[in-house]
Amino acid sequence: MKTEDTDPAFADLDLWDTATALNNLHASQMAAVASVGPALPALAGAVDAAVERLRRGGRLIYAGAGTSARIAVQDGAELLPTFGWPADRVAFVIAGGEQALLRPVENAEDSGAAGAARMAELGVGPDDVVIGVAASGGTPFTIEAMRSARARRALTIGVSSNAGALLLNEADHAVSTATGAEPVSGSTRMKAGTAQKVALNLFSTMVMVRMGRVYRGLMVDMIATNDKLRKRAVRMVASLDGCSEADASDALAAADGDLKAAVLVRRGLGAAAARALLERHGGNLRDAIAGLDKR
C-alpha cells in the first residue's frame, strides 16, 4: 500500500528549519489536492448515479474508520445547515461508534462483522447511496460495510488513496486518489485525508446542485440558524429578486423563513401556493420560476 510507504524526501523533516519544513509540507498538500483531478470522471459518474437514487427518496450513508470516518462525518453533517438536506436522510457507519470520532477505539476498524451489522441496523436498501472512505482501502470494517450495502442493492461509492484497493473493487463507483507516501510515514490524516476531503466536497456539493438545492450559485435551501445566516438569507432573496432588503425580509417572514418560497412570494404568490409550486417541481427553484413565467 503506497499510503504506508516512507517518502525519502522527508527523511530529514525533523532537522529542517520551520519555514523550510512548512514549505515542503504545503507542497505535499497541494500535490494531494491535484491527485483528485484524475478521479473527476469517476466522481461525475458517482454523482449522476447517486442523484437517481436520492430522487427516489434514498439516503446518503457514509462509512469509515478513524481519520476517514471523521472526514466523512464532517462532510455529511454539513449537508443540513448548508443545503437543508433532511437529517433523516443522512446516516453514518463509524467503526467504534460515535465515541470514535473523538477518541480512538481499539481494534474497532478490524471488525468487518460490525460494519455489516450497522448496515443491517440501518435497513439499507436499493434507494440508498453508501460512500465508503478508507485511505488504505483495506479496512475490514469499511469493506464489509460496503459488501453488505451492495448485497442490499444500495449504490456503493469507494474513496481510497491506493489504486486497486479492495474497497474500490467492492464499489459500483471507484474514486481513486493516488496520494502516495506521506511526509510523516503512515499519517494519512495528511495527504490522503486532504484528498478525501476534496473528493467528498466535490461529490456532495454536486449532488446538492443536481438535487436543486443551489440556484444561481446560492445555497437557497440553507437553514438560517443564527443572525449571520438570517441576514445572508435576506441578501440572497434581495439579490435574486432585485428588491430591497426590507422587502426581502418581509417576503421571508411571509414564507416562514423558506428562502425559495420567499423568492416566489416576491413574484406574487401566496406562501402556500409558492410551496405547492416548488413541490410540483421537486423543490427546484429554477424550474418553479420557469413554470410560473409560462403562466
Q: Which of 52, 109, 144, 245 is catalytic?
A: 109
**Is 78 designated active site?**
yes
Extended strands (E) in 122-275: 129-133, 155-160, 173-176
> Residue 91 forms beta bridges with which residues?
61
Q: Which of 4, 78, 98, 170 is catalytic?
A: 78
Cα–Cα dist 97/102, whole Å: 10
> Residue 130 forms beta bridges with which residues?
61, 156
DSSP 283: T
> Residue 117 CB: number of other CB atoms within 10 A?
15
**Is 109 designated active site?**
yes
Extended strands (E) in the chain: 60-64, 90-94, 129-133, 155-160, 173-176
Residue type present at position 90: V
Cα–Cα dist 223/45, whole Å: 29
Give catalytic residues, as residue numbers: 78, 109
